[in-house]
Every structure is written in C-alpha cells, then in structure tokens.
Structure 1
Amino acid sequence: MTDAAQPWLTVVGIGDGGLDSLSSEALDALRAARTIFGGERHLAMLDDFSAQQIAWEKPFDDSMIALQACAGSPTVVLATGDPMWFGVGATLTRHVDPAEMRVLPSPSAFQLTAAALCWPLADCQCLTVHGRPLEGVSRHLVPGARLLIYSADGSSPQALARLLTGRGYGPSRIVVCEHLGGTRERIRATVAADFDLTGIADLNTVAVECVAGRAAEPRPLVPGLADDAFVNDGKMTKRVLRGLAISALQPLPGHLLWDVGAGSGSISVEWLRTAPGMAAIAIEPVEDRLAMVRENAEALGVPELRIVEGAAPDAYADLPAPDAIFIGGGLTDGVFDAAWEALKPGGRMVAHAVTLESEAILLDLHARLGGELMRIQVDRAEEVGPYRGFRPAMPVIHWHVTKSDRP
C-alpha cells in the first residue's frame, strides 16, 4: 500500500438509477480510476470514462489475479447496492487488505424493498438465493415471519413459491420488486400457491409474509427437533440425547463440527440450524444413509452441510480441523484417537455409546482425559393392553470433554 490515506481500490455500490444516483465522491473515484471492474450490466452504464473496463470472469475468482495486478493504481469495482451485504465487497476482503480499499455503498435492495412495503427492516430476515441453494430458505419458514430475499434471476420468485407451497406455506403473500429505484421499477403481489406472475426481470427482490397452511410443520431453531422431523432408518441420535449432545458441543457462530458416523445427519443438521455462519461435515460410510443426510439437510434448510462418504478414521484425511466433534457411530478402530488429534485446542468432544465394547472405551477415555460421563436411560409411556406403562429404551453412555488449549 502506497498511502494509508488513499486506498487504491474503491468499491462503488450503484443502484438501478445508474450514475445519476451516485454521490460526488463515487463519481470522483470513477473519473480518477485507471481501471474499472464490474459486471456487464454495470459497465454498460459507463459512457465517457477513459479507464480500462474489465468484466468479471467466470469463475469469479479468476478475476482476482487481474484485480490484484492493479494494486497501487486507482481502481474501482462496481457493485449492486450495498457491496457489503451479500455483495462483492465481502469477497474482495478475502483477497485485498481492507486497509487498501474503501467502500461507497448505495441503498441495498433490502432497504428499498422494506421502504416500499413499510416493513421495519430490523424485523425482517434478509436472505439470498443468488449463488446459494434455494433450500436454505426453508429454515426461516415460521408463521408470521417476514423474509426479504435476493433473487438469482427472473425464475427465482416462482421457484420460491414452489418451495413455500411444498413446505405447507402456500397461503403466504409474495411481493416481487423489480428494478427498485430505477425508471423500470415495478412491484407486484401474489400468493405462493397461486403464483401467476410472468415476465419477471432478472434484477428482483422477493418479499414473503409467511402464512402457515394446514400442511405446514413449523420447526424451531433450538436443538431437539422431534425424531419424525428426520428421514431415518432407526439409526439416529434420538431427541433427548440429541438435545444434550448439541448443548455439550457448544455451537458458536463460525465453528466447524465433524459428525462422525452421521447416520441420518440429525446432529450436524441441528448444529447448523443453531446460528448463522455455522459449518459442519457429516461423515458416513453407508450409501443409503448418505442420501438420507442430504434429504434431511435440504428439508430442514441447511443445504450447505458438507457430506463425506467414507469410514472413520480414513475419512478424516484432508478435512479442515474442527472446533467440535460428535462420535455417535462407534468407537473402534482408531475412530477416537485420530479425531482427538485433529480437534483444535479448546475444542469440544462428545461421544455416545450403547454397546458394552464402546462403553468400556468411554470409561477408559474418561479416566484418562476427564470431562463428564453420564449414563442416560429414557422411559416412554406406551400402551400395555388396555392400560399404559413406561417402557425403557436402551441406556446410552454420554461423554463430553474440552480439549486442553495448553500444549
């Protein structure tokens, strides 16, 4: 960086109103630039600027070499609205020292949509399906929720309507906002189950007022979903033990979980649902269960779950170091030792055992490493002829421990 007071890279957020909507500071940056990067739509707005214009390549990361070659020379990146809200600005911070760039935002599509509908923005969930799986919206479907969603293109609103209807939220009101802030601005409303809008512009934002139909099954984000929320073959961590396991794993935003012997994926799915920015890897060797993990992740709104086919410990190879590990699929053949070695200092380990062999392993680990060891048995009321009685399930040994952060 040549001058701390004059960053070489300026990221300019531009609205549908084009150059006329820019501040004098943003226009000065464009006039001073030697190189301007942007999408074809943005570059088409530039008429009398002498700078070299470079359109983004696909994949996007290929453009970073050309951008970084401009270091020290006045450079502008054009973006849509607020570049730091699901925009290119966040990506650029991974390639350029933030001290070398400045960001000049315009109102975001979220702000413009909330203003047009008189929705308090702080009460809305702001999401995007641009470059992200549509199924991620599912976790936010609860009665009364207001969602603002960046679209990928003109087909996104209808795809969202199908998702809502399939999840039992067909009565939900959908508002499609196109080219907000520009001369082609258009706002149209419909109902998800009766979606009938056509000719939707690629540049659009969708607002959803969630209304649950009779088929809707609202799912809370707190751990301990009902067992029937998951497609499973019976080999899964049941509700009571799952809630305990997630609590002991202590999910924190940005942390990574290894779910070893994932089964239905119930632990990793619930981990991801606890907070934004979570990450999880489900490790499972059985092909049929891999399909169940994928189905559960999509249905419960966490399609970002990474699924690794393979048996532990071989499946650990080349995986990023985790902040937490759950072992629910057996503790034999070096499954624990390799996982413990990979776990970050200060990380949390939780393991369950139902067989005598696995129980013996946990007893030994508890003696060596400490932590908390519990034997849990759940009795459920069931019919006994014309009466009811408690029927005990198999006891489960639960162990959790925090890896010392001391060498």
Structure 2
Amino acid sequence: MTYYNRLVKSGISRRAVLRGMGAGVAASTLALPTYLRAQTAGTIKLGYLTPATGPLGLFGETDGYTVQKIREHLGGQLVSSNGNTYAIEILERDTQSNPNKAAELAGDLILNEEVHLMAPASTTDTILPVMEQSELYEAPCISSGAPWQAVIMPRGGGEFDWTYHFFWGLDEALNTFVGLWNGLETNKKVGMLFPQNIDGETWGNDSYGLPVPTKAAGYDVTIPGYFQPRTNDFSAQIAAFKEAGAEIIGGITYPDDLKTFVTQCNQQGFKPKAVTVAAALLFPGGVEAMGELGNGMSSEVWWTPAFPFPSTLTGQDSRALADQWETDQKRQWTQPLGYSHALMEVAIDILKRSTDPLDREANREAMAATDITTVCGPVKFAGTPHKNICTMPIFGGQWVKGEKWPYDLKIVDNSVNQLFEPEQKIVPLAW
C-alpha cells in the first residue's frame, strides 16, 4: 500500500501527518539561538531531492551528475537581476525512493537548513511528499518528472500557493500511444497488458485510463485478467490476445515482466505488429535485456538528443548533453537526463529573476512568473490546464538498432505535440 493510501486508510489527513513529521524538526529549530537560525547573508540555498538509490534509482541516476555540472558552471555564485551577486549552495538529498524519507528530508531542508527554493526531481514518491511539506511550511517548490495529475489530484486538485510543476499529463501519454498505433496498418484490435498494482489500476481504468482514448479512436480493446508482477507465465493473456486477433499490445509493465511476456509471445507464435508499454521501455537497459526481441519496441518519449532547444545555462543542445554524459559516464544517455538539466535551468532562472533570492515570498512570485525555454521545451505557467502546471512536450518513440549502442530511441510520432517533426516513421515489429 502506498504512503498516500495508508494516510487515507488511517483516516488521518495528509496535512496532519506531515505536520507531525515536521514537529520534531521544528522543535529543534526553535530551540536554537536566533543568530544560528538566521539566514546566511548573501548565500542562496537550493534544496534538490532525488531518488538516487532504491527501486526508483534509474529515474534519479542523472541528477547528481547534472547538479555537479551546474555547480561547476556557476562557480558557487549567482548574479541576480537586482544587481547583487550571491553565493549559492545546492543541497542534495537522496530520498532512497521512499516517500516518508522524502517528506522527512523536505521538512529538514525547509525548517533547519532554511532553503530558499525546493526542487524535487522525478517520480511521484519524491515529488508529492516534498510538495506537501513545501505547501505546509510555505517554501517555494519547483518540480518535474511525474505526470502532473499524480502530484495535483492527490492533494484535492485545487490551486496552490507554493508548489509549481512542469511535465506532461497522463492523458497526453495515453494519446501518444494511440498516435503511435495510428501510424501502422493494423486491424485496429488492441490487447492490453496491466499488472495487478496501482500502476495497472491507473493505466487500465475504464474512466480515464488507456482504454478510453483507444476506444475513442475506433480500436477494439481486449483486457484479460491483470497479471501478478514478476509472474513467469503469461499464457492466459497471450491466449486471450490470440483469440481476439489483437495486432497491437499496449499497457504498462516493468522490464523483467515485459521480457518474460515478449519471450513467451515469440515461443507461442503470437507476433503482434506493435508492443507499446510505459515504464519498461524508458531506459536502454530494459530494451537490451530482451536481446533481439527489443528491436522495434515503442513507448512514450520525455526527452531525447533530438530535442532542438539549447540550455539557458550552458548553451549546449540536447545532443551535446547526451554526448557529454556518454563520454563522462561511459553509459548510454537516458531520458531523465534532459529533465535533470531542465529542472536546474528553471530553478536557477527563478533565483536570478527574483527581486530578493533570499526571500521565499519573492522567489514564489518569480516562480509563478516563469517564462523560459529549457532543453525540454518552453516552461510558462499560463493557467491551463491548472494554475500550478505547465505541460511539456511528449512524443511517441521506437527503439531501433543503434550504431554506438545496441539500441537507440527515435521519435516516430508527434501527434500530441508538434514542436518538431519525427525523426522517422514507425515500422511493424520484425520478430
């Protein structure tokens, strides 16, 4: 059961729980002499939280690297639009992929470290509890790396004063899947694969999940029983897809489950023209794990080296960022890299534009007025679809044989966002 479901089940409000979690931190802060609690004159503190370790570590693996690059670029100083030069500290914290730890760390950064801006990076389990603490203790918070509904709706969906977020939404991701399938000649029959967990329940929901835009686009949908994560037998699902004549598979899985499913499809003679799933295909390792069967897999795309926007900090384009990562880390670029950089771009831009970057109120006003084009695209809080949200570009992608690495992710569909043209057209799975 997730952190948030446990709160609901217990009958205790999130605000009450978070206030309790921060009580010890607040008490220790109040016990300090005034001169120790005072803000360090001329030093801006930026709190950066990431799931650097734990089961969500792949989402946070580019954060520490990017933060260090930005530190080096800034040289420990920030020149504000008010004409002053400030020292700047970026305080990194590892949430360990644990929402309770994220809330605890956020409370400490806000109340003890007295940071001037919070920046939680990537995944709902990191961002949502940090947002809750930031709203509760009135600290400006800018975030990215989770579908916006996941960090707005659990808090009631209303407007907020201290927390802003830029990323695409679940609805846009779902429509991206349909856009991918529209690029193929098929019988318009889709089999859907969902795990028996919160992700499966969300993506498979008949009111707002993947079946909704798929049916609206004229596709027939078959949903057999949800599978247990880490199962070693997908025979029932494959049999149902065969009987329905499905030529497309869509849904959400994690890498090990997708590898098992695709391997058994091949063994049992079920060879759809497209396998398009979320989560499992975000990272190169998940595709490589399938060997030759990984060729042609498709998914949503957050960011790739094909994005054409230069960094407002370093001037590098996305290709240069990816190349630098691969040279430095000896590993293939990965989608969160772009958003690690974009989050730092927006955070630094807020502090530069603030009339007083040592004042949280001034930083909140600068955050709400953000209007910047990052390596991931334009960020501006214009009031739609929500006061505190800016939706970002999302595309459809297909993994193809690479030259430098086993597979590379190419943008093949721009039906949801037309900021730039696809790199190539989607092709059916070869099997």
Shorter-normalised TM range: under 0.3
Higher strand share: 1
Larger relative contact order, structure 1 or 2 (CA cutoff 8 Å, min sep 6): 2
Higher fraction of helix: 2
TM-score (norm 2): 0.23
TM-score (norm 1): 0.24
